[in-house]
Structure 1
Amino acid sequence: MQNDASTHPEGPAASDTPATPDAPVAAFPTTRAKGCPFDPPAELTRLREERPLTRLRYPDGHVGWLATGHAAVRAILGDVRFSSRYELAHVPFDTGFTGELPPAPTGDMTGIDAPEHTRYRRLLAGKFTVRRMRLLTERVEQITTEHLDAMERRGPVVDLMEAYARPIPALMICELLGVPYADQDMFQRHVATSMTLSSSEEERAAAMVAIDEYMRKLVMGKRTTPTDDLLGDLTTSDLTDDELTGIGGFLLGAGLDTTANMIAFGTFALLSNPDQLAALRAEPGLVDQAVEELMRYATIAQTGLRAALEDVEVEGRLIRKGESVALSMEAANRDPARFPDPDRLDLRRKATGHLGFGHGIHQCLGQQLARVEMRVAFPALLTRFPTLRLAAAPEDVPLREGMNIYGVHELPVTWGEAGGA
């Protein structure tokens, strides 16, 4: 989920009376078992085992739905009768925000539907093809080697997020878009504020204004002096200044945050599963399967949100027009009906069909770039530091709880002889 949302503005208001007689769940489950940072909240698992689609009472009193089963979540994500528009849905989490959110900002591709979404997607899809992203592999390898060299010179202990996981995708997305890398720290702070559920409405608004002002200045410069990069290329399209500013901010924010968390959180998962860590070290060729399995097992984009545009039957249940559906990607990715023994990290698993990159028309635009970065980053790190391990107790690793994108704030790691520097 990228944002909050409210009620459907058109047609008769949807009734808050459940279409089926079962009592709604009182709140969206968010509490994880202590010491289990990779597992969904146990209540989500219980609900999925009972039924993959259940009634849910939202903080504003709306009675909508919670989807936890893989088939149900995938079906809703792929059905254009469900809208992604923020202003049509209710918020499943108690964020303290009680008003109705406005429509998605210009350029925010997550909170819009066709035909607007189709127009943006067509302009951008050719920039992120599998072939184009694979051509960037050599540059990813170069950046990775440079940061591994810096880690080795510095010596243990290091924060893997700061030293390795964040700089690799940050450099790549900055180079791809044509954004000065020196500005990425500032931009990252604003992105984090805008994506933290505990941030106040005023703090989020200020962060979004700062992002918009920065990107608008950059776009205006590229309009005047075109550059050989993605944003420079888009200045020749029919995008308005507002659209190009918004799309640039959207792509930069996504590129800075998601893959960085996946590299760090995925490394945390590997270090917490020594048998799988050893398998990847012994067989670097497993990396393609490993990336897909880590995306499934350590889901960081945890929750989606849709609103029904008409009455739709899913898994034998009637979702009425105007009702909101919260989609638990993490529960769906652990559904035993789709993935046998789902709570076990298994790098040899064929994890095709996972929802780590979403599904349907809103499936992650940059997924091929993310795959290239992870396929290089994981084996390179484990090869350079064969004794890599956590430098803190697992329970002391700070988690990104209360944020749209899950992961770790920091990941202290060390290497060399145990007990030595």
Structure 2
Amino acid sequence: MEASDTHRTIETVYRMERARLIAGLVRMLRDAGLAEELAQDALVSALSDWPKNGIPANPGAWLMAAAKRRGIDQLRRRRMIDRKHAEIGRDLEEERFDAFGEIEAKMDDDIGDERLSLIFTACHPALSTDARVALTLRLIGGLTTGEIARAFLSSEQTIAQRIVRAKKALGNAGIAYEVPRGEQRESRLASVLEVVYLIFNEGYAASSGEDAIRPQLSHEAMRLGRILAALAPGEPEVHGLLALMEIQASRLPARIGADGMPVPLTRQNRARWDRLLLHRGLASLERAERFGGANGVYALQAAVAACHARAARYEDTDWMRIATLYDRLLNAWPSPVVGLNRAIAHSMAFGAETGLVLLAELESEPALKDYAPLHAARGDFLQRVGRRPEAKAAFERAAALSGNEQERAFLLARAAGGG
């Protein structure tokens, strides 16, 4: 295998193992910042070692062992060769591999998943809600500060500072990285759901990079959502979020064309939608509504997605119901992005002119000034009412603001009259 191929393999393995790696290191070291550094150091070691010695049989275990050894070195340099040093060294000697080559999990909580446990741990009340979400998206979702900034409609500098402050706050408070139980866990559930939701969104519509979608992130979010549903079977918003993710993810096979370009909902081949995921999502939505969560923010979004799912053709979409659902959602979750989606829904139900009026009401929102989807929506509305020069300018503005290469190409094609 050529060095370039090996490097690509290493990068792929690291992306797959990074969250598990950091989660395991945080459990041992009780230091999120150090865990992130050691995970990165393990990647550097792999880039040096694997091209010469070959890819190990169990790459994830190799990375974890390398990170732990570097952890010992870090602790030694910091003159911390005490109980933690002994515990880490003992872990290295005592690790056993099962028949599949996986490290046996040493779990002492009832969640049973290291990544989800770390999300609950990092969503500590000592941090603001925004800080909790930003920190866990960075540690577990592996999102860059730029991707997190776009999710929050904020600047990269603000998000970077927020993450640094969150790590320091946890360290200064001497907070143990352990999974909360009972009421403490319930109080953190809303933040955990938000993290899982944003991880899914980054996979469903990547905010940056060459790929329009990142399915591995969406599938990881759904996996976490299913664990949450088993942990809290009577919590309607958990089922609402799982419903939203599964219904949306059912479209992933049809969202990207053979040329790698995004395929809009209007042109998707609905026969390619994943029917199993779709049925699972609709069942989750039914559970959310049965438990009294019909007006929850995730259940309402799932109900919107279900309207699309139930339409055999795009022309059969019940836009009147979708517009009503967005009215309810904006009341439950007043946010600029919900307002934008409401404008789009009303434009489809009542005409593009109505959409333009609602967009005008959002122009004073600072968070939407440089938000590509707003300018893309304006371009669509303008094109539908025949104001093509203005539509072209709006699409070009959206393309200039987009951080995703495939989305940018799609918007430029619309600006050129590509439909």
The TM-score normalised by the length of structure 1 is: 0.27
Q: Which has the larger radius of gyration?
A: 2
**Bigger share in strand:** 1
The answer to which structure, 1 or 2, has the higher relative contact order (CA under 8 A, 6+ apart) is: 1
Higher helix share: 2
